[in-house]
Amino acid sequence: MIDKLIEKIQKTKAPIVVGLDPTLKFVPEHIKEAAFKELGETLEGAAEAIWQYNKGLVDAVCDLIPAVKPQAAMYEQFGVPGMEAFRKTVDYCQSKGLVVIGDVKRGDIGSTSEAYAVAHLGKVQIGGNSVSPFGEDFATVNPYLGSDGIQPFLKVCGEEKKGIFVLVKTSNPSSGEFQDRLVDGKALYELVGEQVARWGEGCMGEKGYSRVGAVVGATYPEQGKLLRRVMPKTFILVPGYGAQGGKGADLVHFFNEDGLGAIINSSRGIIAAYQQEQYARFGSLGYADAARAAVLDMKADIEGALQAR
């Protein structure tokens, strides 16, 4: 799957992943009205609204980008119907040829971690049947519990040829509270990065990158530069572009010399572009076209920054 991701990045010339993080305040009124009219102001109504919203977005941008990253929290907040919308979104994106990164940030131990791995990347055995529960292509994973939390994911990734992105240095302001603390003169995120590189050694794809990726926030370009060196064969998923303050010029250090090795996420900057002054001309009926325009602008920003380095 890491090879498919790389192929798609090369084909689209866009190291971009669109975060499908729907909240009701992003969903245009006409979509909410239709959904609430049919199903009421209920979990079912909200789930239908975000699903229709997602479908419009995916249709508008699927030829431009290699991957999407639905954020599980935004679906879980709508309960069981929300998780149904998550599942439908994963299926729909895959039917359009997109790689799906489930941003689930799961992390547990032993058989529990294996259950999460099975839920999101694998197949569960039920009597004589083997069934895919949610079926993403990648999942994000929290490293705090150590190798016991990661190994079950690696096992499932090996079986299914799928991958994970491990949180290393997150994009938020307080990420340094624990991640930056010095251990023997090295920041904790660097130790985690070294471990990510080791976990990845037995899981190499055919294009020079491992199936074990890392998450490093666009808001920390210096740390990104260091981690690029620490994890040369690790693909880096970079959140924090746009709304969180990261710019194209901050991103160049996350890429290797081959122009690969990183994929930049933007969520609200794309999916709620129509609510920004820059794309207000599209109006809420044109929310999907606004998203397409924002993807094209983001692509140009990153291309420009990479060429200028």
Q: Does 252 bind its own copies (CB under 8 A)?
A: no
User: Is the Cβ of residue 175 or residue 266 nearer to its own copies in the bound state?
Assistant: 175
For residue 191, state whether it binds its own copies (rule: CB under 8 A).
yes
Of the candidates 192, 187, 165, the residue with the CA atom closest to the CA atom of residue 176: 187
Q: Which of these, 215, 279, 224, lies nearest to 247 by C-alpha position?
A: 224
Contact region with its own copies (CB under 8 A), list: 92-100, 106-114, 230-238, 269-277: 106-114
Alpha carbons 14 and 65: distance in angstroms, whole number: 6
Stretch that binds its own copies, among 56-64, 118-126, 228-236, 251-259 (CB under 8 A): 118-126
- Please, what is the minimum distance in Å from the beta carbon of residue 174 to its own copies? 4
Binding-site size, its own copies (CB under 8 A): 72
Among 1, 16, 17, 46, binds its own copies (CB under 8 A): 46
305 binds its own copies (CB under 8 A): no
Which residue in 38, 63, 76, 201 binds its own copies (CB under 8 A)? 76
Residue span 253-282 as binding mask against its own copies, x where in contact by CB under 8 A, dash where not? ------------------------------
Out of 5, 74, 271, 272, the only residue in the binding site for its own copies (CB under 8 A) is 74
* Inter-helix orientation angle 188-201/221-230, to 10°: 40
Please tell me the distance from the alpha carbon of residue 198 to that of residue 20, in angstroms, as a whole number. 30
Using CB under 8 A, which of the segments 18-26, 61-69, 246-254, 298-306 binds its own copies? 18-26
Q: Of these residues, 105, 155, 207, 247, which one is catalytic?
A: 105
Give every CB contact of residue 40 below 8 A, 6+ residues apart in sequence: none
CA distances from 68 to 36, 173, 197, 265, 301 (A): 26, 24, 24, 8, 19
Give the closest residue to 19 by CA, choosing from 242, 225, 172, 170: 242
State yes or no: residue 174 binds its own copies (CB under 8 A). Answer: yes
Q: How far apart are CA 15 and CA 263, in angstroms?
A: 5
Contact between 297 and its own copies (CB under 8 A)?
no
Q: How far apart are CA 132 and CA 220, in angstroms?
A: 36
What does the alpha-carbon distance between residue 190 and residue 192 come to, in Å, rounded to a whole number? 5
Which residue in the set 10, 55, 64, 84 belongs to the binding site for its own copies (CB under 8 A)?
Answer: 84
> Catalytic residue at 13?
no
- The piece of 20-28, 221-229, 272-280, 301-309 that touches its own copies (CB under 8 A) is 20-28
Is residue 36 a contact residue for its own copies (CB under 8 A)? yes
The amino acid sitting at 287 is: Y
Check residue 238 for interaction with its own copies (CB under 8 A).
no
Measured distance CA(180)–CA(183) in Å, rounded = 9
Residues labelled as active-site residues: 105
